[in-house]
Chains A and B, each alone.
Chain A
């Protein structure tokens, strides 16, 4: 992705050789102790979670690890032209230590950081040091050839050349020049390799992204299909229902106008019919509105909407709600219709005589469970109402889990992220 153009690469190789070596040296000096300290601190802190201390320290340690990795991301971009994407999940601002710790530990990016630390203290350190060595080792060779050999112990091994006199010193100088040439060509590449190595470990995997794209494409198509079908249904209902009835009302009133003096009795009859039609139109509109966005949901939010829903069921239903504040309207609506569908399913198929609904919010997720004491055997199969619920929730990255052994009980769990 970030290989850069060949021409540009050569120019920077020529110019950046000594600079790359100095940077390599700096990286080697930082990466080994930095990675070791971070890694040890992280392992110890996570190890201390069971006794509680780790709950407090882990978020700080992991934040330190992130800062260390972030520094490498910046250097990778500036020194090597390698962009390492940063993909940490946002943490809720008001989370407690428990939420922060497990929020961070639940993030795959955290585990990539921790995996990268041992890689950095070994292979990362070696590649950084090699970059430095490609400049400093030839310089030593040249110094030896220039006369430094006289003060060095005899024999002084330079590479594979045992230096013991001016002749072998010159051979060492020749080797140094060869290394210098190699460094000229390779130093920046080795430095780049160091950053590419970091990217290979730190960047979210390609397959993960591809999977995400696949899921998004699918749920978006579902969402578009569903809403188009909904609009068609609403249009049909209005057209055949309320609209037609209002036309009839207008017609009747027109006739009443003509009849009012000639035939008051029939006029009164028509008036009654007009009133009846308008009442029916209202009833239909009310049902339609309930299907689009239930009034209680608009007036009171999800908790009371689910309570009102439960009161309409023919099965005794207990509702428990613990929701601080209100979620976004689309999330509330999706959750409401999901619960509504699951409850309808339970009433229709389970044969249960008790249902329990629990709605609560924890760590930025809306969690709803519906339990019934019916005969079980529910499944998220094609054509079942639950498949529709799964699709509906999918649009919001929500998930549906069904546990329904034959003989019951059935437990349906839904989770929707809600910021």
Chain B
């Protein structure tokens, strides 16, 4: 799997390259600025891009802008955006085109190599990887007393949270130490309670849940 990596701090870039190579990824390009990233994305046609939000020369959200621009030119191009802070505002912009293949994680998540690599793979295959903090903020905002979320059991909320992060039923089952069938039942209940249409497609399911949490449909 070919990766384009954009990170301006040498230590982090070097570390990420090592980490990804150790897990069998091929680094097509490892760049340190916005213009270099735009060029690499156009020339290398990677399977997935791992991008730091803040990049030189502007030191603003240049990485995010490059990612959005690249996805406009090549819809569905898988991008995993890393940042020192996560904002719902940015998550919403990344998800706006509704085509999946999007990840948005805190940089801290690279501490857990397995989970991080899993997220990169998920995004590369068109899935979603949303940072738990983003999801928690969304849930906190939509969990008033008379909201539909109040009708979920604590276990269902837990499943919903993991599902919104982009995890598959199998991954959720492993995480909660239950069978996949139990998770499938929870999922059906959640969708019924929230009035969402059930979909067999994992990815579409995640996007529906995220859209529900963000806008309440």
Interface residues of A (CB under 8 A from B): 275, 278-279, 282-283, 286, 289-290, 295-296, 298-300, 304, 307-308, 311-314
Contacts and interface: CB of A to CB of B under 8 A. Distances in A.
Interface of B: 53-54, 59-61, 83-85, 87-89, 92, 107-108, 111, 137, 140-141, 144
30 contacts: A275-B111, A278-B111, A279-B111, A282-B107, A283-B108, A286-B84, A286-B85, A289-B84, A295-B54, A295-B83, A295-B87, A296-B85, A296-B87, A296-B89, A299-B53, A299-B61, A300-B60, A300-B61, A307-B89, A308-B87, A308-B89, A311-B87, A311-B89, A311-B92, A311-B137, A311-B141, A312-B88, A313-B141, A314-B140, A314-B144
| Residue with the greatest number of chain A CB neighbours at <10 A, chosen from B54, B85, B107, B144 | B85
Contacts of B53: 299
Contacts of A295: 54, 83-85, 87
A282 B87 contact: no
Contacts of A275: 111
Nearest to B58: A299
A289 B88 contact: no
B141 A314 contact: yes
A289 B85 contact: yes
Nearest to B89: A308
Nearest to B107: A282
B112 to A, nearest CB: 8
B60 A298 contact: yes
B132 to A, nearest CB: 12
Contacts of B88: 308, 311-312
A29 to B, nearest CB: 62
Contacts of A311: 87-89, 92, 137, 141
A299 B141 contact: no
A307 B89 CA distance: 7
A54 B213 CA distance: 55
Contacts of A313: 141
A237 B83 CA distance: 22
Contacts of A300: 60-61
Contacts of A298: 59-60
A290 B54 CA distance: 15
A286 B131 CA distance: 15
Nearest to A287: B85
Given A279-B108, A299-B60, A304 B141 contact: no
B4 to A, nearest CB: 21
